[in-house]
Chain A
Amino acid sequence: MECKRKKEWPESNDSNRATTFPDEVLERVLSLLKSHKDRSSVSLVCKDWYNAERWSRSHVFIGNCYSVSPEILTRRFPNIRSVTLKGKPRFSDFNLVPPNWGADIHSWLMVFEKKYPLLQELRLKRMTVTDESLEFLSLSFPNFKALSLLSCDGFSTDGLAAIATNCKNLTELDIQENGIEDRSGNWLSCFPESFTSLEVLNFANLQSDVNFDALERLVSRCKSFKTLKVNKSITLEQLQRLLVHAPQLVELGTGTFSEELTAQQYSELETAFNNCKNIHTLSGLWEATAQFLPVLYPACTNLTFLNLSYSTLDGDDLAKLLVHCPNLRRLWVLDTVEDKGLEAVGSYCPLLEELRVFPADPFDEGIVHGVTEAGFIAVSSGCPRLHYVLYFCRQMTNAAVATVVQNCPDFTHFRLCIMNPHQPDYQTDEPMDEAFGAVVKTCTKLQRLAVSGLLTDLTFEYTGKYAKNLETLSVAFAGSSDWGMQCVLEGCPKLRKLEIRDSPFGNAALLSGLEKYESMRSLWMSDCNVTMNGARYLAKEMPRLNVEVIKEEGIDNSKADKVYVYRSVAGPRRDAPPFVLTL
């Protein structure tokens, strides 16, 4: 009989005795817990449970790479197979964070090589990743399966070539919206002929042509392909050939969706889409025109996510397409669809939960076009389940927003971007305070809010008073005084991320949050009125916070141009470049 490691056995049914499970039973129970919140709770129960939990955790999520160190991570969790890491503050998307700021993955990889040799998955957002790191990754982890890089920078297609060449067990390669140097498409040809495990491939945002033969062979020999998102170098005719090899695709990103096709080629394309019964996500569609959209219709029945943010469709073409998409839950479009297109959304997509409208020409201040408040209202009327909106527009009214949230009170994410800073309600000329007041009063489940337009402190008074579930707030060119920011810091108990730019909040506002910042992930303030003294004071009073100032060269020395404050168990950064002052 096997000898098992056991704890003491309970002697009787006395329910007052403590329950001690053998280690293997406890670990078995804990391995059934996936949520990190549950695992955190379990780790705090007692020392035995802390140990059982840390040995059984296989995936770790780190929302701020500087909040912890690779040493602390690996010491606590010895068996991690999957790591998700986020690096730079979000405003780096708007070029507010200078290059070489940090969040370099390499120091993490060096530690993982020793401590997590069985690492399988790495998912990075806003990290700096060099080709050297990618090559190191590809050679150091023989079981490596999934690489996802979102909004990362620092690498080129050479790094991708190393991944393709060396990762024999790769199932996922997802490269999205990265600032990458696209030297050539040859990386795709580096997958060996013997390689058959790929299930997810997304290279939609790369520019260079890839070798189509290599791609076609890859798709045809990898029988488990689920997600394929190609770049715009892939033509319709080539797409048809890929679809023939992979009709089982669940997520498809097409290439350029316009081409001179013969009648037969068109028909073959229709047939190919007709055979794709499982597609629920569709994207790409560069240069899609009315002539070619109909080939999609048979594949649209089960569509739940349609990303048209690369297609300059007009409202009519969108309407014709949406008729065939009754099950749509998420829709991303350009504002070329205008209000007419959004009316169609309201008419044909009753199950819609998420809408994102991006500006086709964000910097064009000429003729007013795009979407307006009318389109916003139209969508809200027809889509009562809408709970996530990102809406770029050039005009808005308080009344319209109030109507929208009355139609859709369940918003969890409300991101309204009136593109010209300080723009008032265009009908009444008043600030947009009442709009956001309506949002926070009506939408009690609101977790994420981005405000815009001409806003006084009143907006922030409303936010502090009503937005009790708010976790993330983005502010740009808004507010009148320190009081506004204070209201938010004092009033929003669940606030975790606050990012502010170009707003009149100074030291008093910054320091009113002294007690609060340890309960938040991070605060970003750029081009506000904070001074070096204010930042230093915060750093001195709250030693467990990292208070960093990014100094631009040659600017007034007493101002703190960009302040980034975040809690950390790893202490101050040791890799800060000269322009980042760690106070």
Chain B
Amino acid sequence: MASSSKTITVVSSDGDEFEMTMKAAEQSKLITHMLDEFGVSDKVPLYNVNSETMAKVMEYCKKHADHEAAKEEDGGAAIGAGGEEELKKWDDEFLKVENGLLFNIILAANYLEIKSLLDSSCQAVADMIKGKTPEQIREIFNIKNDFTPEEEAKLRSENEWAFQED
């Protein structure tokens, strides 16, 4: 792997270019593989991620890369005991965006194989689902109900009569 002072360029689906350090790029397994395969001199096209999402993902990768680097220096003294908690708080704030962007972040994290971002964004989406009715969930995700009324009634009965908790 090249030294961490090197940078690479990624290109969003809108055609915008973004620079990221190698260390930040390493947060994404996909980018890492592509660099291994094709080398670092070319620009890496990420046609599945638009600019708005890309900017957020860049921010995430940089933050986590910096955090990792700080941990490696002084064997973790720079981070301190509350370091992991602080990072988690940062992640939580980071994900407080409007739904459309959050969903794009999940898709990007999945595509780019950034595990920690995928985990926390999936948790954020799961938290949005908790306690909601089916109608509310459909609204949040803009999903069309493709059950017929009969199918829906039958499913509701099965859910409530057979599998409902005490």
The answer, yes or no, to whether B5 is at the interface (CB within 8 Å) is no
From residue 211 to 230 of chain A, which have CB atoms closer than 8 A to chain B? none
| Number of residues on chain A facing chain B (CB within 8 A) | 49
Which residue of A1, A14, A46, A569 is within 8 Å of B158 (Cβ)? A569
The answer, yes or no, to whether B96 is at the interface (CB within 8 Å) is no
The answer, yes or no, to whether B4 is at the interface (CB within 8 Å) is no
Chain A residues contacting B163 (CB-CB under 8 Å) are 36, 40, 60-62, 68
Asked if A19 meets B141 with Cβ closer than 8 Å, knowing A42-B129, A46-B147, the reply is: yes
The answer, yes or no, to whether A515 is at the interface (CB within 8 Å) is no
User: How many angstroms from the CA of A26 to the CA of B25 in the assembled complex?
Assistant: 26
Which residue of A22, A37, A42, A570 is within 8 Å of B137 (Cβ)? A42
Minimal beta-carbon separation of B144 from chain A (angstroms): 7
From residue 35 to 74 of chain A, which have CB atoms closer than 8 A to chain B? 35-38, 40-47, 49-50, 60-63, 67-68, 72-73
From residue 25 to 51 of chain B, which have CB atoms closer than 8 A to chain A? 30, 33-34, 37, 48, 50
User: How many angstroms from the CA of A24 to the CA of B50 in the assembled complex?
Assistant: 21
User: How many angstroms from the CA of A29 to the CA of B140 in the assembled complex?
Assistant: 15
User: How many angstroms from the CA of A68 to the CA of B163 in the assembled complex?
Assistant: 9
Which residue of B34, B50, B103, B146 is within 8 Å of A47 (Cβ)? B146
Chain B residues contacting A49 (CB-CB under 8 Å) are 137, 143
Which residue of B125, B129, B138, B165 is within 8 Å of A46 (Cβ)? B138
User: How many angstroms from the CA of A569 to the CA of B163 in the assembled complex?
Assistant: 11
From residue 1 to 23 of chain A, which have CB atoms closer than 8 A to chain B? 1, 9-10, 12-19, 21-22
| Range for the number of chain B residues in contact with chain A | 35 or more
Which residue of B99, B107, B159 is within 8 Å of A40 (Cβ)? B159
Asked if A33 meets B30 with Cβ closer than 8 Å, knowing A9-B107, A47-B146, the reply is: no
User: How many angstroms from the CA of A392 to the CA of B102 in the assembled complex?
Assistant: 55
| Chain B interface SS verdict (over half) | helix
Q: Do A33 and B130 touch (CB < 8 A)?
A: yes
Q: Do B134 and A44 touch (CB < 8 A)?
A: yes
The answer, yes or no, to whether B3 is at the interface (CB within 8 Å) is no
Which residue of A13, A60, A568 is within 8 Å of B161 (Cβ)? A568
User: How many angstroms from the CA of A565 to the CA of B102 in the assembled complex?
Assistant: 48
Q: Do A19 and B165 touch (CB < 8 A)?
A: no
User: How many angstroms from the CA of A15 to the CA of B101 in the assembled complex?
Assistant: 9
Minimal beta-carbon separation of B48 from chain A (angstroms): 6
The answer, yes or no, to whether B100 is at the interface (CB within 8 Å) is yes
Contact with A along B118-153 (1 / 0, CB 8 A): 100011011001111110011001111111000010
Residue of chain A at shortest CB distance from B130 = A38
The answer, yes or no, to whether A290 is at the interface (CB within 8 Å) is no
Residues on B lying within 8 angstroms of A by beta carbon are 30, 33-34, 37, 48, 50, 52, 98-101, 103-104, 106-107, 110, 118, 122-123, 125-126, 129-134, 137-138, 141-147, 152, 155-166
* Listed A/B pairs (17) with beta-carbon separation below 8 Å: A13-B50, A16-B142, A17-B142, A18-B143, A19-B141, A22-B107, A32-B122, A33-B126, A38-B129, A38-B131, A44-B147, A46-B138, A47-B147, A50-B155, A61-B164, A63-B164, A63-B165
